[in-house]
């Protein structure tokens, strides 16, 4: 007998549950922006957005900062297949600007095993910024494989695959205003 394949809507209806609403995210970003502005008071800042996942978060965060802020972007690729998973993530696209002597804040969507953020930090350290800190919206602490903590962190979340507010599954769901766990039946690549 043929089994019926569920069809995704690529909308909130594909979520098992909403973990963080738009309002909860907005409120937390207000307080994160305050923390960051206080910490860099009297200095200027270069924000490095880790594409593509941190794009939505970075856009909202930088508009709430109260310090002179430059923006640059970086992209890292993790190896998807199991045979390559022991390799560190590759820097697929680096900065456009010179960060030597600058106060750099790397902004990422989620800290999971920690491999991506630590590879990005090692890469950026080579450019000799005067300071290098990290900010993540989400932290899955129980998944960590590398000894790394973010300097600024939005929410600790449990170990579930989440999408929305910049986070994707196969490039879908980034546009959702909230964050939620994707139903298992939609975590299947076409």
Shortest distance (Å) from residue 125 CB to ligand 5GP: 17
For this structure, is 14 an active site residue?
no
Residues within window 25-54 making contact with Mg ion, judged by CB under 5 A: 53
Binding partner of residue 15 among Mg ion, ligand 5GP, none, CB cut-off 5 to 8 Å per kind: none
Site membership for ligand 5GP, residue 113 (CB under 6 A): yes
Burial 100-118 (b: 16+ CB within 10 A, else e): eebbbbbbbbbbbbbbbbb
Residue bearing tokens 């990005």: 120
Site membership for ligand 5GP, residue 168 (CB under 6 A): yes
User: Residue 27 has which token pair?
Assistant: 């409120």
Over 107-148, what HEC string results?
A: EEEEECCCHHHHHHHHHHHCCCCCEEEEEEEEECHHHCCCCC
Query: Of 14, 60, 109, 112, which residue is the catalytic one?
Result: 112
52 upstream amide cis, omega within 30 of 0: yes
Site membership for ligand 5GP, residue 48 (CB under 6 A): no
Size of the site for ligand 5GP (CB under 6 A): 17
Shortest distance (Å) from residue 128 CB to ligand 5GP: 24
Residues within window 118-157 making contact with ligand 5GP, judged by CB under 6 A: none
Size of the site for Mg ion (CB under 5 A): 1
Site membership for ligand 5GP, residue 109 (CB under 6 A): yes
**Contact residue for ligand 5GP among 14, 60, 108, 139 (CB under 6 A):** 108
Binding partner of residue 111 among Mg ion, ligand 5GP, none, CB cut-off 5 to 8 Å per kind: ligand 5GP
* Residues lying near ligand 5GP in the complex (CB under 6 A): 53, 78, 108-116, 161-163, 167-169
* Residues lying near Mg ion in the complex (CB under 5 A): 53
């Amino acid at each position: 007998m043929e089994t019926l394949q569920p069809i995704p809507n690529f909308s909130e209806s594909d979520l098992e549950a909403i973990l963080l609403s738009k309002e909860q995210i907005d409120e937390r970003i207000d307080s994160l922006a305050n923390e960051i502005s206080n910490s860099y008071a009297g200095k200027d800042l270069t924000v490095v957005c880790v594409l593509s996942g941190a794009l939505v978060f970075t856009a909202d965060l930088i508009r709430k900062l109260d310090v002179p802020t430059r923006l640059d972007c970086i992209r890292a690729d993790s190896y998807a297949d199991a045979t390559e998973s022991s390799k560190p993530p590759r820097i697929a696209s680096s900065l456009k600007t010179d960060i030597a002597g600058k106060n750099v804040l790397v902004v990422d969507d989620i800290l999971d095993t920690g491999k991506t953020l630590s590879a990005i930090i090692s890469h950026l350290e080579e450019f000799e910024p005067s300071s290098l800190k990290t900010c993540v919206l989400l932290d899955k602490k129980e998944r960590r494989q590398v000894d790394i903590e973010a300097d600024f962190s939005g929410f600790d979340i449990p170990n579930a695959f989440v999408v929305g507010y910049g986070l994707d599954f196969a490039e879908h769901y980034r546009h959702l205003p909230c964050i939620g766990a994707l139903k298992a039946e939609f975590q299947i690549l076409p």
